[in-house]
Chain A
Amino acid sequence: MIANLGTALEVVSATDPGMVRSHNEDSMGTDAEIGLAVLADGMGGYNAGEVASGIAVAMLTTEMKQALESNEPHAIDPSGETIAEKLVRENSAKANAAIYQTAKSQPQYSGMGTTLVVALFFDNRMTVGHIGDSRLYRLRNDVFEQVTRDHSLLQEQIESGMLTKEQARFSQNKNLVTRAVGIDPEVETEIHTYTVERGDIYLLCSDGLSDMVEDEDIHSTLSTLQSNLPLAAKQLVQLANDCGGRDNISVILVRILEDFAVPTGWFAKFKAWFR
């Protein structure tokens, strides 16, 4: 049994195929009650991309929901990590296996894959797992920061000092990811846990937004329109389209409305004893 986070989180999303692509290969899933947001940007010929991202999102949302019915995400697993981290890791691996198997067994899907970014909120914390170049950003006290680091050739070049962030904007290699779900039999999900604060706004997005719109403009849009999250999400999509909309654009916004710390101390234990 876990607390219902439906009142602590405001979750909205928006997606659009963009101005160039004929179909949308991005998939998203959100469940405010269990504090889950998942976004995947599929790749592969014809409609295989949407199959891959669809499998990843369906897998993560249904499996996590089921697992959270009988597990407390803040509990510590014998291996030393929280259940939240374990669930993100295990279910990303499951999604990877499912996509890999589908791609192998059906020739029309061969080579398909997807990026993935997943955020699970619990106990005033957030566990973020990601693979590829879909991102999670945080807006806190009007400071806008990228939380995830892309698994892309470009990011590696920036980190090794070959390119500056400014030069990277003009790189030809924007579209090369170094990790993806469903390409290999196994994939390692990068997982981190952060504390969250009331008033934080989290943005999960596909590269259709972050490649087309500069961080500054995303920031100003979010902070200007933060009183109306659905409008902010729509506005971000529109902004990407106004800048060219060369790829599918998907946006999930999560606002922390109130504290959702797991009660501790004698009273909580006392109450639990009666359940």
Chain B
Amino acid sequence: MAKLIMSLDNAVIREVPLDKERFTVGRKAHNDIQIDNLAVSGEHALIVTILNDSFLEDLGSTNGTLVNGNPVKKHILQSNDVIEIGKYKLKFMSEAPTGAASVADFEKTMVLRAPMGKMNPPAPGGGGFGDTQVGATVTQATTQSRPQAPISTIAKQPEKLAAVQILTGPSAGKELELTKNLTTLGKPGVQVAVITRRPHGYFITHVEGTNFPVINGKTLDAQAHQLNDHDIVELAGVKMEFFFKNG
């Protein structure tokens, strides 16, 4: 979000985040940014913010509005522009549109619609596709086609692979590698827990049954619990050990 840093004689007075569409600047009390100084007109200037762009407009003030030393009537604000109103300076800082933030803004859902209030999308295979696209207008301002990184739909996996080894019961000694995002353990209808593989490690969560899993002798609650190397898990009467595999 863009903001204004207001200063007088190089001393910062306050910061104003431009968190709504219209900000008025002036001497009178009803302004969003009030500057109580006789060099400032009652309604001096207006800042309108639409998506990532902020526009400054002088509202016919007596002493005028300067941007970077030049008088302006209307001006599209750039980051680091200095607005001068009377002796006051307002430095405009736009949030640098880099990285994730800008991609996120771009990804905001927008409505694409036909100009004549035509609301039906073309029937599948009806050949109407051209109409919609050619005549289409986008109702929000920005449609720049920034190449969008394809989303990786597979969650980043933790670097180390882990496994559980059954310690007791008929299948003692068996080892199960936890390669999937979700691995369920236990007996359906009796007691089931799931181990989820997430970017920052493995977590165990109770799924069903009246008994909750026991980790290192401590009974879990309904919350997910991160597993550490060599944790002992007890589930449906069976003990097993969780461990990270080497290599």
Contacts and interface: CB of A to CB of B under 8 A. Distances in A.
Contacts of B188: 227
B109 A217 contact: no
The SS class assigned to the A binding surface is: loop
B153 A243 contact: yes
B247 to A, nearest CB: 24
A172 B151 contact: no
Contacts of A108: 20-22
Contact of A184 (B117, B184, B192, B208): B117
B70 interface: no
Interface of B: 19-22, 50-51, 100-101, 103-104, 106-113, 117, 119-122, 124-125, 129, 132-133, 138-140, 145-148, 150-156, 180-182, 184, 188, 192, 194, 196, 198-199, 205-208
Given A175-B108, A221-B181, A227 B155 contact: no
Interface stretch (A29-37, A41-49, A196-204, A257-265): A41-49
A211 B152 CA distance: 10
Contacts of A217: 153-154, 181
Contacts, number: 144
A177 B111 contact: yes
Interface stretch (A63-71, A76-84, A151-159, A266-274): A151-159
Interface stretch (A5-13, A118-126, A135-143, A234-242): A234-242
A113 interface: yes
A174 interface: yes
A115 interface: yes
Interface in A217-246: 217, 220-221, 224-225, 227-228, 231, 235, 238-239, 242-244, 246
A165 interface: no
A180 B153 contact: no
Given A175-B106, A228-B207, A247-B104, 8 more contacts: A46-B21, A113-B111, A159-B124, A180-B111, A184-B117, A187-B119, A220-B181, A231-B194
Contacts of B151: 169, 211-212, 243-244, 246
22 contacts: A21-B104, A41-B109, A43-B110, A108-B20, A108-B22, A113-B111, A159-B125, A160-B124, A172-B146, A172-B148, A175-B107, A176-B112, A178-B121, A179-B113, A183-B113, A217-B154, A224-B194, A225-B194, A225-B207, A231-B207, A235-B182, A242-B156
Contact of B104 (A20, A45, A231): A20
A222 B29 CA distance: 57
A238 B208 CA distance: 19
Contacts of A184: 113, 117, 119
Contacts of A162: 129
Contacts of B120: 188
B182 A224 contact: yes
B112 to A, nearest CB: 4
Contacts of A170: 150
A239 B224 CA distance: 14
Contacts of A246: 100, 103-104, 107, 151
Contacts of A221: 181-182
B155 A107 contact: no
A20 B22 CA distance: 25
Contacts of B129: 156-157, 160, 162
Contacts of A231: 194, 205-207
Given A21-B104, A46-B19, A156-B129, A183 B109 contact: no
Nearest to B51: A45
B149 to A, nearest CB: 9
B21 A45 contact: yes
Which of A133, A170, A231: most chain B CB closer than 10 A? A231
A186 interface: yes
Given A45-B51, A169-B150, A243-B154, A227 B125 contact: no
A178 B196 CA distance: 37
Contacts of A224: 182, 184, 194
Nearest to A157: B129
Contacts of B145: 172
Contacts of B198: 238, 242
Given A46-B21, A153-B112, A178 B154 contact: no
A-B residue pairs, 6 tightest by C-beta: A242-B155, A170-B150, A227-B208, A160-B129, A176-B112, A214-B153
B104 A46 contact: no
Contacts of A113: 111
Which of B100, B107, B199: most chain A CB closer than 10 A? B107
A21 B103 CA distance: 11
